Structure 1
Amino acid sequence: MKLYSYFRSSAAYRVRIALNLKNIKHELAIVDLLKSEQLGDDYLTTNKQGLLPAFETDQGVLAQSLAILEWLDETYPQCPLVTGTAWQKAQIRNLSFAIACDIHPLNNLRVLKYLSDELCVDTEGKNKWYQHWIEEGFNKIELMLNKSNHYCIGNQPTLADICLVPQVYNAIRFNIDMSLYPKIAAIYIHCNKLAAFSDAAPQNQPDAN
Protein backbone atom coordinates (compact mmCIF):
# COMPACT_ATOMS: atom_id res chain seq x y z
CA MET A 1 0.00 0.00 0.00
CA LYS A 2 1.14 3.51 -0.72
CA LEU A 3 0.23 6.85 0.87
CA TYR A 4 0.72 9.96 -1.24
CA SER A 5 1.61 12.63 1.26
CA TYR A 6 3.04 16.09 1.87
CA PHE A 7 4.46 16.87 5.28
CA ARG A 8 2.12 19.82 5.98
CA SER A 9 -1.02 18.34 4.47
CA SER A 10 -3.47 18.07 7.36
CA ALA A 11 -5.48 15.37 5.63
CA ALA A 12 -2.37 13.27 4.90
CA TYR A 13 -1.28 13.85 8.52
CA ARG A 14 -4.52 12.22 9.69
CA VAL A 15 -3.86 9.12 7.62
CA ARG A 16 -0.25 8.90 8.79
CA ILE A 17 -1.45 8.85 12.41
CA ALA A 18 -3.98 6.10 11.72
CA LEU A 19 -1.46 3.93 9.87
CA ASN A 20 0.91 4.28 12.81
CA LEU A 21 -1.77 3.50 15.40
CA LYS A 22 -2.74 0.37 13.51
CA ASN A 23 0.89 -0.53 12.73
CA ILE A 24 0.16 -0.94 9.01
CA LYS A 25 3.14 -1.24 6.71
CA HIS A 26 3.00 1.15 3.77
CA GLU A 27 5.11 3.10 1.33
CA LEU A 28 5.23 6.90 1.44
CA ALA A 29 5.20 8.86 -1.82
CA ILE A 30 5.89 12.57 -1.54
CA VAL A 31 3.81 15.06 -3.53
CA ASP A 32 5.09 18.62 -3.15
CA LEU A 33 2.09 20.94 -2.87
CA LEU A 34 4.23 24.07 -3.07
CA LYS A 35 5.49 22.92 -6.47
CA SER A 36 1.90 22.04 -7.50
CA GLU A 37 2.90 18.43 -8.13
CA GLN A 38 -0.65 17.43 -7.18
CA LEU A 39 -1.78 18.99 -10.47
CA GLY A 40 0.76 17.16 -12.62
CA ASP A 41 -0.28 14.47 -15.08
CA ASP A 42 1.46 11.71 -13.12
CA TYR A 43 -0.42 12.41 -9.91
CA LEU A 44 -3.75 13.15 -11.62
CA THR A 45 -3.58 9.64 -13.07
CA THR A 46 -3.60 8.40 -9.48
CA ASN A 47 -6.03 10.91 -7.99
CA LYS A 48 -8.28 12.73 -10.43
CA GLN A 49 -9.22 15.27 -7.74
CA GLY A 50 -5.66 16.53 -7.60
CA LEU A 51 -5.73 16.68 -3.82
CA LEU A 52 -3.88 14.99 -0.98
CA PRO A 53 -3.84 12.42 0.30
CA ALA A 54 -4.35 9.46 -1.97
CA PHE A 55 -4.09 5.92 -0.65
CA GLU A 56 -3.25 3.17 -3.09
CA THR A 57 -4.43 -0.33 -2.20
CA ASP A 58 -4.76 -3.64 -4.03
CA GLN A 59 -8.41 -2.74 -4.64
CA GLY A 60 -7.75 0.73 -6.03
CA VAL A 61 -7.19 4.27 -4.82
CA LEU A 62 -9.07 6.23 -2.17
CA ALA A 63 -8.70 9.99 -2.23
CA GLN A 64 -10.52 11.44 0.79
CA SER A 65 -8.93 11.17 4.21
CA LEU A 66 -12.14 10.34 6.08
CA ALA A 67 -12.98 7.62 3.57
CA ILE A 68 -9.46 6.23 3.89
CA LEU A 69 -9.73 6.23 7.69
CA GLU A 70 -13.12 4.49 7.65
CA TRP A 71 -11.78 1.87 5.19
CA LEU A 72 -8.70 1.28 7.34
CA ASP A 73 -10.91 0.84 10.40
CA GLU A 74 -13.11 -1.73 8.70
CA THR A 75 -10.22 -3.57 7.07
CA TYR A 76 -7.78 -3.48 9.99
CA PRO A 77 -9.85 -3.70 13.18
CA GLN A 78 -6.89 -3.45 15.57
CA CYS A 79 -6.85 -0.19 17.53
CA PRO A 80 -10.32 0.88 16.32
CA LEU A 81 -10.75 4.55 15.43
CA VAL A 82 -14.53 4.61 15.86
CA THR A 83 -15.47 2.56 18.89
CA GLY A 84 -17.86 2.26 21.82
CA THR A 85 -21.64 2.44 21.91
CA ALA A 86 -23.65 3.76 19.01
CA TRP A 87 -23.85 7.10 20.86
CA GLN A 88 -20.10 7.24 21.44
CA LYS A 89 -19.45 6.44 17.78
CA ALA A 90 -21.80 9.25 16.78
CA GLN A 91 -19.98 11.65 19.12
CA ILE A 92 -16.62 10.66 17.64
CA ARG A 93 -17.91 11.36 14.15
CA ASN A 94 -19.59 14.57 15.30
CA LEU A 95 -16.27 16.02 16.51
CA SER A 96 -14.35 14.64 13.54
CA PHE A 97 -16.71 16.20 11.00
CA ALA A 98 -16.74 19.52 12.88
CA ILE A 99 -13.00 19.70 12.26
CA ALA A 100 -12.59 18.01 8.90
CA CYS A 101 -15.69 19.50 7.25
CA ASP A 102 -16.24 22.86 8.98
CA ILE A 103 -12.75 24.16 9.83
CA HIS A 104 -10.17 22.56 7.57
CA PRO A 105 -11.72 23.20 4.10
CA LEU A 106 -11.77 26.97 4.69
CA ASN A 107 -8.05 27.03 5.40
CA ASN A 108 -6.44 24.55 3.05
CA LEU A 109 -3.77 25.56 0.56
CA ARG A 110 -5.97 25.99 -2.50
CA VAL A 111 -8.29 28.37 -0.62
CA LEU A 112 -5.35 30.40 0.67
CA LYS A 113 -3.84 30.54 -2.82
CA TYR A 114 -7.17 31.72 -4.25
CA LEU A 115 -7.35 34.47 -1.64
CA SER A 116 -3.89 35.74 -2.55
CA ASP A 117 -3.70 35.01 -6.29
CA GLU A 118 -7.26 35.77 -7.42
CA LEU A 119 -8.68 38.11 -4.78
CA CYS A 120 -5.39 39.91 -4.10
CA VAL A 121 -5.65 39.47 -0.34
CA ASP A 122 -2.33 40.39 1.29
CA THR A 123 -0.46 38.18 3.76
CA GLU A 124 -1.93 39.94 6.79
CA GLY A 125 -5.46 39.57 5.46
CA LYS A 126 -4.89 35.92 4.58
CA ASN A 127 -3.58 35.21 8.06
CA LYS A 128 -6.59 36.93 9.62
CA TRP A 129 -8.87 34.77 7.47
CA TYR A 130 -7.09 31.63 8.66
CA GLN A 131 -7.11 32.66 12.30
CA HIS A 132 -10.78 33.66 12.20
CA TRP A 133 -12.00 30.26 11.04
CA ILE A 134 -9.74 28.36 13.42
CA GLU A 135 -11.00 30.44 16.34
CA GLU A 136 -14.64 30.10 15.24
CA GLY A 137 -14.27 26.33 15.17
CA PHE A 138 -12.16 25.93 18.29
CA ASN A 139 -14.53 28.10 20.34
CA LYS A 140 -17.27 25.53 19.69
CA ILE A 141 -15.12 22.41 19.96
CA GLU A 142 -13.73 23.51 23.33
CA LEU A 143 -17.31 23.54 24.65
CA MET A 144 -17.95 20.05 23.24
CA LEU A 145 -15.06 18.39 25.09
CA ASN A 146 -15.08 16.94 28.59
CA LYS A 147 -12.65 18.64 30.95
CA SER A 148 -10.97 15.55 32.41
CA ASN A 149 -10.40 13.52 29.25
CA HIS A 150 -6.98 12.85 27.77
CA TYR A 151 -8.73 12.17 24.47
CA CYS A 152 -11.70 13.70 22.70
CA ILE A 153 -14.03 10.79 23.42
CA GLY A 154 -13.35 7.88 25.78
CA ASN A 155 -10.03 6.56 27.00
CA GLN A 156 -8.15 5.86 23.79
CA PRO A 157 -7.28 7.80 20.63
CA THR A 158 -10.07 7.85 18.07
CA LEU A 159 -10.92 9.42 14.74
CA ALA A 160 -11.70 12.66 16.58
CA ASP A 161 -8.17 12.93 17.97
CA ILE A 162 -6.74 12.06 14.57
CA CYS A 163 -8.62 15.02 13.11
CA LEU A 164 -7.95 17.39 16.01
CA VAL A 165 -4.17 17.07 16.32
CA PRO A 166 -3.31 18.21 12.75
CA GLN A 167 -5.70 21.13 13.12
CA VAL A 168 -4.00 22.24 16.33
CA TYR A 169 -0.62 21.95 14.64
CA ASN A 170 -1.86 24.38 11.99
CA ALA A 171 -3.35 26.67 14.60
CA ILE A 172 0.01 26.93 16.33
CA ARG A 173 1.70 27.66 12.98
CA PHE A 174 -0.65 30.60 12.52
CA ASN A 175 -0.12 31.96 16.02
CA ILE A 176 -3.44 31.02 17.58
CA ASP A 177 -3.33 31.52 21.35
CA MET A 178 -3.93 27.95 22.53
CA SER A 179 -4.23 29.08 26.17
CA LEU A 180 -7.77 30.08 25.19
CA TYR A 181 -8.52 26.40 24.51
CA PRO A 182 -7.15 24.46 27.50
CA LYS A 183 -9.06 21.25 26.79
CA ILE A 184 -8.00 21.16 23.15
CA ALA A 185 -4.41 22.00 24.09
CA ALA A 186 -4.31 19.26 26.74
CA ILE A 187 -5.49 16.63 24.26
CA TYR A 188 -2.93 17.81 21.71
CA ILE A 189 -0.10 17.53 24.24
CA HIS A 190 -1.23 14.12 25.50
CA CYS A 191 -1.67 12.64 22.02
CA ASN A 192 1.77 13.80 20.95
CA LYS A 193 3.29 11.78 23.76
CA LEU A 194 2.28 8.71 21.74
CA ALA A 195 4.75 7.58 19.08
CA ALA A 196 1.93 7.08 16.56
CA PHE A 197 1.19 10.80 16.68
CA SER A 198 4.70 12.18 17.10
CA ASP A 199 6.11 10.01 14.30
CA ALA A 200 3.36 11.30 11.99
CA ALA A 201 4.03 14.96 12.81
CA PRO A 202 5.07 17.20 9.90
CA GLN A 203 8.51 17.99 11.31
CA ASN A 204 9.30 14.26 11.39
CA GLN A 205 8.50 13.56 7.74
CA PRO A 206 11.21 12.88 5.12
CA ASP A 207 10.16 15.93 3.06
CA ALA A 208 10.20 18.34 6.02
CA ASN A 209 13.69 19.63 5.26
Structure 2
Amino acid sequence: MSDHPMILHGYWRSGTSYRTRIALNLKGLSYEQRAIDLRRGDQAGEAYRALNVQGLVPALEVQGQVITQSPAIIEWLEERYPDPPLLPHDPLERARVRALAAIIGCDIHPLNNLRVLTALKGQFGADQAALDAWAARWIRPGFEALNAHVSARGARFAHGDQPGLIDCYLVPQIYSARRFNVDLSPYTALLRVEENASAHKAFIDAHPDNQPDAD
Protein backbone atom coordinates (compact mmCIF):
# COMPACT_ATOMS: atom_id res chain seq x y z
CA MET A 1 0.00 0.00 0.00
CA SER A 2 1.06 3.60 -0.54
CA ASP A 3 2.75 5.37 2.36
CA HIS A 4 1.30 8.69 1.17
CA PRO A 5 -2.28 9.54 0.27
CA MET A 6 -2.79 9.80 -3.48
CA ILE A 7 -5.55 11.66 -5.31
CA LEU A 8 -6.24 10.80 -8.94
CA HIS A 9 -8.07 13.47 -10.89
CA GLY A 10 -9.63 11.85 -13.95
CA TYR A 11 -12.67 11.07 -16.03
CA TRP A 12 -14.30 7.66 -16.02
CA ARG A 13 -14.19 7.15 -19.80
CA SER A 14 -10.85 8.84 -20.48
CA GLY A 15 -8.34 6.36 -21.89
CA THR A 16 -5.44 8.07 -20.14
CA SER A 17 -7.27 8.00 -16.80
CA TYR A 18 -8.20 4.35 -17.42
CA ARG A 19 -4.58 3.30 -18.09
CA THR A 20 -3.43 5.15 -14.96
CA ARG A 21 -6.05 3.39 -12.82
CA ILE A 22 -4.86 0.04 -14.15
CA ALA A 23 -1.25 0.84 -13.25
CA LEU A 24 -2.20 2.00 -9.75
CA ASN A 25 -4.27 -1.15 -9.24
CA LEU A 26 -1.54 -3.46 -10.53
CA LYS A 27 0.80 -1.86 -8.01
CA GLY A 28 -1.74 -2.49 -5.25
CA LEU A 29 -1.88 1.18 -4.30
CA SER A 30 -4.78 2.95 -2.65
CA TYR A 31 -5.93 6.27 -4.06
CA GLU A 32 -8.85 8.65 -3.87
CA GLN A 33 -10.61 9.62 -7.09
CA ARG A 34 -11.76 13.13 -7.97
CA ALA A 35 -14.00 13.30 -11.02
CA ILE A 36 -13.25 15.85 -13.76
CA ASP A 37 -16.24 15.79 -16.10
CA LEU A 38 -14.81 16.55 -19.54
CA ARG A 39 -18.26 16.94 -21.09
CA ARG A 40 -19.20 19.60 -18.54
CA GLY A 41 -15.90 21.41 -18.96
CA ASP A 42 -14.49 20.84 -15.47
CA GLN A 43 -11.01 20.63 -16.99
CA ALA A 44 -11.17 24.29 -17.97
CA GLY A 45 -12.22 25.50 -14.52
CA GLU A 46 -9.99 27.63 -12.35
CA ALA A 47 -9.68 25.00 -9.60
CA TYR A 48 -8.44 22.27 -11.92
CA ARG A 49 -6.22 24.61 -13.93
CA ALA A 50 -4.48 25.45 -10.67
CA LEU A 51 -3.48 21.77 -10.48
CA ASN A 52 -2.83 21.19 -14.16
CA VAL A 53 -2.35 24.31 -16.25
CA GLN A 54 -2.80 22.25 -19.43
CA GLY A 55 -6.32 21.31 -18.36
CA LEU A 56 -6.03 17.64 -19.27
CA VAL A 57 -6.62 14.43 -17.33
CA PRO A 58 -5.28 12.63 -15.45
CA ALA A 59 -3.38 14.42 -12.73
CA LEU A 60 -2.02 12.64 -9.67
CA GLU A 61 -1.57 14.49 -6.39
CA VAL A 62 1.12 12.82 -4.29
CA GLN A 63 3.50 13.98 -1.57
CA GLY A 64 2.29 17.55 -1.94
CA GLN A 65 3.12 17.56 -5.64
CA VAL A 66 1.12 17.09 -8.85
CA ILE A 67 2.21 14.76 -11.65
CA THR A 68 0.54 15.22 -15.02
CA GLN A 69 0.59 13.18 -18.25
CA SER A 70 -0.19 9.49 -17.82
CA PRO A 71 3.20 8.21 -19.13
CA ALA A 72 5.01 10.31 -16.52
CA ILE A 73 2.63 9.13 -13.78
CA ILE A 74 3.04 5.47 -14.71
CA GLU A 75 6.84 5.76 -14.97
CA TRP A 76 6.92 7.44 -11.55
CA LEU A 77 4.82 4.62 -10.10
CA GLU A 78 7.25 2.09 -11.57
CA GLU A 79 10.25 3.89 -10.07
CA ARG A 80 8.67 4.56 -6.68
CA TYR A 81 6.91 1.19 -6.30
CA PRO A 82 8.99 -1.25 -8.38
CA ASP A 83 7.26 -4.40 -7.13
CA PRO A 84 5.33 -5.83 -8.88
CA PRO A 85 7.10 -4.55 -11.99
CA LEU A 86 5.37 -3.20 -15.08
CA LEU A 87 8.61 -3.37 -17.09
CA PRO A 88 11.03 -6.25 -17.75
CA HIS A 89 14.44 -6.27 -16.04
CA ASP A 90 16.55 -6.33 -19.21
CA PRO A 91 17.19 -2.80 -20.57
CA LEU A 92 16.62 -3.79 -24.21
CA GLU A 93 13.37 -5.52 -23.31
CA ARG A 94 12.32 -2.48 -21.33
CA ALA A 95 12.92 -0.30 -24.39
CA ARG A 96 10.92 -2.70 -26.55
CA VAL A 97 7.98 -2.62 -24.12
CA ARG A 98 8.07 1.16 -23.92
CA ALA A 99 8.08 1.38 -27.72
CA LEU A 100 5.06 -0.90 -28.01
CA ALA A 101 3.16 1.07 -25.37
CA ALA A 102 4.04 4.23 -27.31
CA ILE A 103 2.27 2.88 -30.39
CA ILE A 104 -0.90 3.54 -28.41
CA GLY A 105 0.27 6.45 -26.29
CA CYS A 106 1.81 8.42 -29.17
CA ASP A 107 0.40 7.11 -32.46
CA ILE A 108 -3.21 6.11 -31.73
CA HIS A 109 -4.76 7.68 -28.66
CA PRO A 110 -3.85 11.35 -29.23
CA LEU A 111 -5.65 11.29 -32.59
CA ASN A 112 -8.98 10.04 -31.23
CA ASN A 113 -9.30 11.69 -27.84
CA LEU A 114 -12.18 13.98 -26.94
CA ARG A 115 -10.61 17.31 -27.85
CA VAL A 116 -9.62 16.07 -31.31
CA LEU A 117 -13.10 14.64 -31.94
CA THR A 118 -14.66 17.90 -30.75
CA ALA A 119 -12.49 19.82 -33.20
CA LEU A 120 -13.41 17.48 -36.06
CA LYS A 121 -17.10 17.98 -35.32
CA GLY A 122 -16.99 21.70 -34.61
CA GLN A 123 -14.54 22.87 -37.27
CA PHE A 124 -15.08 20.33 -40.04
CA GLY A 125 -18.67 19.15 -39.51
CA ALA A 126 -17.75 15.48 -39.05
CA ASP A 127 -20.68 13.21 -38.19
CA GLN A 128 -20.40 10.03 -36.14
CA ALA A 129 -19.67 7.86 -39.18
CA ALA A 130 -16.81 10.17 -40.13
CA LEU A 131 -15.49 10.13 -36.57
CA ASP A 132 -15.59 6.32 -36.52
CA ALA A 133 -13.70 6.17 -39.81
CA TRP A 134 -11.12 8.68 -38.52
CA ALA A 135 -10.49 6.69 -35.35
CA ALA A 136 -10.26 3.39 -37.24
CA ARG A 137 -7.71 4.94 -39.63
CA TRP A 138 -5.22 5.23 -36.75
CA ILE A 139 -6.26 2.27 -34.61
CA ARG A 140 -5.89 -0.40 -37.31
CA PRO A 141 -2.18 -0.02 -38.19
CA GLY A 142 -1.23 0.24 -34.53
CA PHE A 143 -3.25 -2.83 -33.62
CA GLU A 144 -1.72 -4.76 -36.52
CA ALA A 145 1.77 -4.12 -35.14
CA LEU A 146 0.75 -4.94 -31.58
CA ASN A 147 -1.11 -8.06 -32.65
CA ALA A 148 2.01 -9.34 -34.42
CA HIS A 149 4.08 -8.84 -31.27
CA VAL A 150 1.57 -10.46 -28.94
CA SER A 151 1.06 -13.38 -31.34
CA ALA A 152 4.81 -14.02 -31.40
CA ARG A 153 5.01 -14.01 -27.61
CA GLY A 154 2.14 -16.48 -27.21
CA ALA A 155 1.62 -15.31 -23.63
CA ARG A 156 -1.42 -14.48 -21.52
CA PHE A 157 -0.70 -10.76 -21.62
CA ALA A 158 1.00 -8.46 -24.11
CA HIS A 159 4.59 -9.22 -23.11
CA GLY A 160 4.39 -12.19 -20.79
CA ASP A 161 2.14 -14.16 -18.50
CA GLN A 162 1.83 -11.27 -16.03
CA PRO A 163 0.27 -7.92 -16.92
CA GLY A 164 2.59 -4.98 -17.51
CA LEU A 165 3.01 -1.61 -19.14
CA ILE A 166 1.66 -2.50 -22.59
CA ASP A 167 -1.52 -3.93 -21.08
CA CYS A 168 -2.14 -0.67 -19.20
CA TYR A 169 -2.32 1.04 -22.58
CA LEU A 170 -3.85 -1.73 -24.66
CA VAL A 171 -6.96 -2.62 -22.68
CA PRO A 172 -8.31 0.97 -22.62
CA GLN A 173 -7.57 1.34 -26.33
CA ILE A 174 -9.57 -1.80 -27.12
CA TYR A 175 -12.43 -0.33 -25.07
CA SER A 176 -12.16 2.87 -27.13
CA ALA A 177 -12.00 0.96 -30.43
CA ARG A 178 -15.33 -0.65 -29.63
CA ARG A 179 -16.88 2.76 -29.01
CA PHE A 180 -15.81 3.69 -32.55
CA ASN A 181 -17.23 0.46 -33.99
CA VAL A 182 -13.83 -0.81 -35.15
CA ASP A 183 -13.86 -4.43 -36.31
CA LEU A 184 -11.54 -6.17 -33.87
CA SER A 185 -11.89 -9.69 -35.27
CA PRO A 186 -8.50 -9.61 -37.07
CA TYR A 187 -6.66 -8.95 -33.81
CA THR A 188 -7.09 -12.33 -32.16
CA ALA A 189 -4.01 -12.04 -29.95
CA LEU A 190 -5.14 -8.68 -28.59
CA LEU A 191 -8.60 -10.05 -27.87
CA ARG A 192 -6.97 -12.90 -25.94
CA VAL A 193 -5.16 -10.35 -23.78
CA GLU A 194 -8.43 -8.50 -23.21
CA GLU A 195 -10.14 -11.73 -22.17
CA ASN A 196 -7.42 -12.49 -19.63
CA ALA A 197 -7.53 -8.92 -18.34
CA SER A 198 -11.31 -9.13 -17.92
CA ALA A 199 -10.78 -11.75 -15.21
CA HIS A 200 -8.05 -9.79 -13.37
CA LYS A 201 -9.15 -7.65 -10.43
CA ALA A 202 -6.85 -4.72 -11.28
CA PHE A 203 -8.48 -4.37 -14.69
CA ILE A 204 -12.00 -5.03 -13.44
CA ASP A 205 -11.70 -2.31 -10.80
CA ALA A 206 -10.24 0.13 -13.34
CA HIS A 207 -12.97 -0.40 -15.96
CA PRO A 208 -14.91 2.77 -16.80
CA ASP A 209 -18.25 1.22 -15.88
CA ASN A 210 -16.97 0.59 -12.34
CA GLN A 211 -15.95 4.18 -11.59
CA PRO A 212 -17.86 6.38 -9.14
CA ASP A 213 -18.50 9.05 -11.80
CA ALA A 214 -19.65 6.64 -14.54
CA ASP A 215 -22.97 7.28 -16.27
Q: How high is the TM-score relative to the length of structure 2? A: 0.94
1:118-157 deviations in Å (ceiling 9; x for gaps): 1222222112111221112212221222252111112211
Alignment correspondent of 2:22: 17
Q: For 1:144 and 1:115, how far apart are their aligned partners in 2?
A: 32
CA contact (8 A) 2:153 2:160 kept: no
Higher mean C-alpha deviation, range 34-43 or range 118-127: 118-127
Task: Give the deviation of 1:183 after TM superposition.
Answer: 0.5
Q: Does 1:113 align with 2:113?
A: no
Q: For 2:199 and 2:146, how far apart are their aligned partners in 1?
A: 22
Q: For 1:118 and 1:180, how far apart are their aligned partners in 2?
A: 33
After the TM superposition, list the runs of 4 or more consecutive aligned residues in structure 1 that deviate by more than 3 angstroms: none
CA contact (8 A) 2:117 2:131 kept: yes
- Structure 1 stretches of 5 or more lacking a match? none
CA contact (8 A) 1:73 1:80 kept: yes
Q: For 1:140 and 1:17, how far apart are their aligned partners in 2?
A: 22
Q: How does 1:83-98 map to 2 (within 5 A)?
A: 83-98=88-103
SS of the residue corresponding to residue 163 of structure 2 reads: coil
AA at the equivalent of 2:24: L
AA at the equivalent of 2:66: V
Residue 186 of structure 1, aligned match among 170, 174, 192 = 192
- Percent of pairs identical after alignment? 43
AA at the equivalent of 2:83: Q
Q: For 2:117 and 2:187, how far apart are their aligned partners in 1?
A: 24
Alignment correspondent of 2:106: 101
Alignment correspondent of 1:26: 31
Task: Give the deviation of 1:83 after TM superposition.
Answer: 2.0
CA contact (8 A) 2:132 2:181 kept: no
Higher mean C-alpha deviation, range 131-140 or range 37-46: 131-140
Residue 196 of structure 1, aligned match among 202, 205, 211 = 202
Alignment correspondent of 1:79: 84
Q: How big is the alpha-carbon RMSD for the aligned residues of Structure 1 and Structure 2?
A: 1.1
Aligned length: 209
AA at the equivalent of 1:194: H
Alignment correspondent of 2:155: 149
- Structure 2 stretches of 5 or more lacking a match? 1-5
SS of the residue corresponding to residue 33 of structure 2 reads: strand
